[in-house]
Amino acid sequence: MSEHDETRETDAHSGTETTGHEWDGIKELDTPLPRWWLYIFYASCVWAVIYWVLMPAWPALPGLAGETDHTRGLRNHSERANVAEALDALAEQRAVGFAALEGASIGEIENDPELLGFVLAAGETVFRDRCGTCHGVGGQGFVGYPNLNDDVWLWGGSYDDIRHTLQVGIRSEHPDTRFSQMPAFGRDELLSRAEIGEVTDYVLSLSGTSADAGAISRGQAIYDSQCASCHMADGRGDRAQGAPSLTDQDWLYGGSREQIMASIHRGPYGVMPAWEDRLEETTLDALAAYVFLRGGGEDATAGPTGQ
Amino acid sequence: MSNATPKNMAAPGISRSKAEAVNAADTRELYKKREPIYPKLAHGKFRFVKWVIMALALGVYYLIPFLRWDRGPGAPDQAVLVDFAHGRFYFFFLEIWPQEIYYVTGLLIMAALGLFLASALFGRVWCGYACPQTVWTDLFIMVERMFEGDRNARMKLDRAPWSLNKAWRKVGKHAIWLIIAFATGGAWILYFHDAWDTLANFFAGTAAPSSYVFAGVLTFTTYTLAGTMREQVCTYMCPWPRIQAAMTDRDALNVTYRIDRGEPRGAHKKTESWDNRGDCIDCKQCIAVCPMGIDIRDGAQLECIQCGLCIDACDDIMGKVGRPTGLITYETDDNVDRFVRGEKPRYPFIRPRTMVYAVSLAIVSALMLGALVTRTHLELNSQRDRNPNYVRLSDGAVRNGYTVNVINKANAPRVMELAVEGDPAIGVRILGAADMTPDRIEIGPDRSQDYVVYLTLPGAAIDGPSEDIAFVVTDRETGETARSSSVLITGAE
For the whole prediction, is pTM greater than 0.90?
no
pLDDT at residue A62, as a whole number: 65
Q: What percent of chain A has pLDDT over 90?
A: 56
- Shortest Cα–Cα distance, A5 to chain B (Å): 33
Q: Find chain A residues with C-beta within 8 A of B390's C-beta.
A: none
* pLDDT > 60? residue A224: yes
pLDDT(B199) > 60: yes
Q: What is the per-residue DSSP string for A45-97?
A: HHHHHHHHHHS----S-TBTBBTBSS--TTTT--HHHHHHHHHHHHHHHHHHH
Q: Does domain A182-268 have CATH number 1.10.760.10?
A: yes
Reported as a single tens digit per residue, the pLDDT across A149-167 is 988 999 999 999 999 999 9
* Distance (Å, whole) CA A285 – CA B454: 22
pLDDT at B433 over 60: no
Say which of A138, A248, A295 has its CB closest to residue B454: A295
Dist. CA B181–CA A126, nearest whole Å: 53
Q: What is the mean pLDDT of residues B181-191?
A: 93
Please give the angle made by the CA atoms of B374, B380 and B383, to the nearest 5 degrees.
Answer: 145
Chain B closest-CA separation from residue A150 CA (Å): 5
DSSP 3-state assignment of B489?
A: strand
| Complex prediction ipTM | 0.74
Which pLDDT does position A68 carry in this prediction?
65
Q: Which of B387, B427, B450 is closest, CB to CB, to A307?
A: B427
Say what the pLDDT of residue B74 is: 78
pLDDT of residue B5: 41
pLDDT one-digit tens code per residue, B362-372:
999 999 999 88
- Does residue A32 have a pLDDT over 90? no
Q: B454 to chain A: nearest residue by CA?
A: A295
Residue of B nearest to A107 (CA): B434
Contact B394 A149 (CB under 8 A): no
- Per residue in A83-133, pLDDT tens? 999 999 998 988 988 998 888 888 888 888 888 889 999 999 999 999 999
What's the mean per-residue pLDDT of chain A?
87
Point out the residue among B393, B427, B452 whose CB comes nearest to the CB of A151: B393
Task: Please write the tens of the pLDDT for every residue from B127-166.
Answer: 999 999 999 999 999 999 999 999 999 999 999 999 999 9
B454 has a chain A CB within 8 A of its CB: yes
| CATH code 2.60.40.10 for B378-489 | yes
In chain A, which residues have their Cβ closer than 8 Å to the Cβ of B385?
138
Q: Do B394 and A147 touch (CB under 8 A)?
A: no
Interval B230-254 mean pLDDT: 84
Residue of B nearest to A292 (CA): B431
Q: Reply yes or no on whether the pLDDT at B32 is more than 70.
A: no
Report CB contact under 8 Å: B399, A293: no
pLDDT of residue A296 exceeding 70, the answer is yes
- Tell me what the mean pLDDT of segment A7-18 comes to: 80
Pairing outcome for strands B466-475 and B414-421 = antiparallel
Confidence of residue B438 (pLDDT cuts 50, 70, 90): low
* pLDDT of B56 higher than 70: yes
Please give the mean pLDDT across all residues of chain B. Answer: 88
pLDDT at B48 over 80: yes
Domain ranges of chain B: 1-375, 378-489
Task: Name the pLDDT band for A30 (thresholds 50, 70, 90).
Answer: confident
Can you give the pLDDT at residue A190?
93
Using pLDDT thresholds of 50, 70 and 90, give the confidence band for residue A75: confident
Identify the pLDDT of residue A2: 39
Once rounded to an integer, what is the mean pLDDT over residues A182-209?
92
pLDDT at B145: 94
Statement: residue B291 has pLDDT above 90 = yes
Are the beta carbons of B385 and A138 separated by less than 8 Å? yes
- Residue B392 touches partner A, C-beta closer than 8 Å: yes
Long-range pairs for B325-330 at CB < 8 Å and ≥24 separation? B326/B258, B327/B257, B327/B258, B327/B261, B327/B262, B327/B279, B327/B280, B328/B255, B328/B256, B328/B257, B328/B258, B328/B286, B328/B296, B329/B255, B329/B256, B329/B258, B330/B122, B330/B123, B330/B253, B330/B254, B330/B255, B330/B256
Q: Tell me which chain B residue has its CA closest to the CA of residue A246.
A: B394
Question: Shortest CB distance from A249 goes to which of B392, B401, B431?
Answer: B392
Kindly state whether B302 is in contact with chain A, defined as any CB-CB distance less than 8 angstroms: no
Nearest CA in chain B to A152: B394
- Would you list the DSSP string of A211-242? --HHHHHHHHHHHHHHTHHHH-TTS--BGGGT
Mean pLDDT of B256-273: 86
For chains A and B, what is the number of CB pairs under 8 angstroms?
71
| Cβ contacts of B392 on chain A, cutoff 8 Å | 150, 249-250
B4 pLDDT above the threshold of 50: no
Contact call for A295 and B391, based on CB within 8 A = yes
Residue of B nearest to A137 (CA): B387
Q: What is the mean pLDDT of residues B70-94?
A: 87
